[in-house]
Amino acid sequence: MRGYAVFAVLLGQLWPGFAAAQEPRFHYNNFGAPGLIEMPDARSAADADLAFSLSHFAGQTRNTLTFQVTPRLSASFRYAALDDVFSPDGTVYDRVLDRSFSLRYRLSDETDYLPSLAIGADDFAGTGIYSAEYLVATKALVPALSMTAGIGWGRLAGVGGFENPLGAPFADRPAQEIGQGGTVRGNNLFRGDAALFGGLTWQMNDDWHLAVEYSSDALRYQDAGVFDRRSPINLGVGYGPSPNLQISAQYLYGSTFGAALTYVINPADPPFGGGFDQGPVPVVPIRPLSSSRAAITRNLADEGLLLHALDRHPDRIAVEVVNLTYNAPAQAIGRAARVLAAHAPPHIRRFDIALVERGVAGPAIRLDRADLVAREFALDGAAQLLKAAQIAPAEGRPSPLMQSNFQWGITPYITPNIFDPDDPLRADFGLALDGSWSPVAGVLLSGTVRHRVLGNLDQASRMSVSVLPRVRSEFALYDREGDLDLIDLTAAWYAQPAHNITTRLTVGLLEEMFGGASAELLWRPENSPLAFGIEVNSVRQRGFESDFSFLDYDVTTGHGSVYWDMGEGYHARLDAGRYLAGDWGATLALSREFRNGWSVGAFATITDVPFDDFGEGSFDKGITISMPIAWLSGRSTRNTVDRTIRPVTRDGGARLHVEGRLYDLTNDLSADAISASWGRVLR
Q: Which residues of this chain interact with other proteins, rule CB under 8 A?
A: 266-270, 272-280, 282-286, 328, 330, 373, 376-383, 594-596, 631, 634, 676-680, 682-683
Burial of 260 (0-12, 13-18, 19+ CB in 10 A): buried
**Among candidates 338, 385, 403, 333, which has minimal Cα distance to 361?**
333
Please state, in angstroms and rounded to a whole number, the distance separating the CA atoms of residues 264 and 351. Answer: 44
Pairing of strands 316-323, 350-357: parallel
Please state, in angstroms and rounded to a whole number, the distance separating the CA atoms of residues 136 and 148. Answer: 7
Is 580 in contact with 554 (CB distance < 8 Å)? Answer: no
How does DSSP classify residue 564? E
Please state, in angstroms and rounded to a whole number, the distance separating the CA atoms of residues 249 and 413. Answer: 36
Phi, psi of 478 (to 5 degrees): -65, -40
Is 321 in contact with 588 (CB distance < 8 Å)? Answer: no
One-letter identity of residue 448 = T
Is 636 in contact with 296 (CB distance < 8 Å)? Answer: no
CA dihedral 197, 244, 326, 341 (to 10 degrees): 120
One-letter identity of residue 449 = V
Task: Give, for 77, the enclosing helix (H) or strand (E).
Answer: strand 73-86
Q: How far is the CB of 641 from other proteins (least distance, A)?
A: 17
Phi, psi of 643 (to 5 degrees): -135, 130
Q: How far is the CB of 301 from other proteins (least distance, A)?
A: 15
Q: How far is the CB of 83 from other proteins (least distance, A)?
A: 41
Alpha helix stretches (DSSP H) within 106-212: none
How does DSSP classify residue 279? P
CA dihedral 321, 326, 330, 334 (to 10 degrees): -70
Please state, in angstroms and rounded to a whole number, the distance separating the CA atoms of residues 86 and 643. Answer: 33
Residue 629: strand, helix, or coil: helix
Please state, in angstroms and rounded to a whole number, the distance separating the CA atoms of residues 12 and 128. Answer: 40
Is 335 in contact with 280 (CB distance < 8 Å)? Answer: yes
Please state, in angstroms and rounded to a whole number, the distance separating the CA atoms of residues 487 and 450. Answer: 7
Please state, in angstroms and rounded to a whole number, the distance separating the CA atoms of residues 670 and 632. Answer: 25
Please state, in angstroms and rounded to a whole number, the distance separating the CA atoms of residues 19 and 108. Answer: 31
**Among candidates 550, 564, 582, 561, which has minimal Cα distance to 653?**
582
Q: Give Cβ neighbours of residue 500 (< 8 Å, ≥ 6 apart).
A: 393, 523, 524, 525, 526
One-letter identity of residue 581 = A
Please state, in angstroms and rounded to a whole number, the distance separating the CA atoms of residues 117 and 42. Answer: 5
Please state, in angstroms and rounded to a whole number, the distance separating the CA atoms of residues 473 and 653. Answer: 12
How does DSSP classify residue 211? E
Please state, in angstroms and rounded to a whole number, the distance separating the CA atoms of residues 425 and 418. Answer: 5
One-letter identity of residue 30 = N
Residue 596: strand, helix, or coil: coil
Please state, in angstroms and rounded to a whole number, the distance separating the CA atoms of residues 186 and 170. Answer: 12
Please state, in angstroms and rounded to a whole number, the distance separating the CA atoms of residues 467 and 614. Answer: 8
Distance separating the N- and C-terminal Cα atoms of the chain: 61
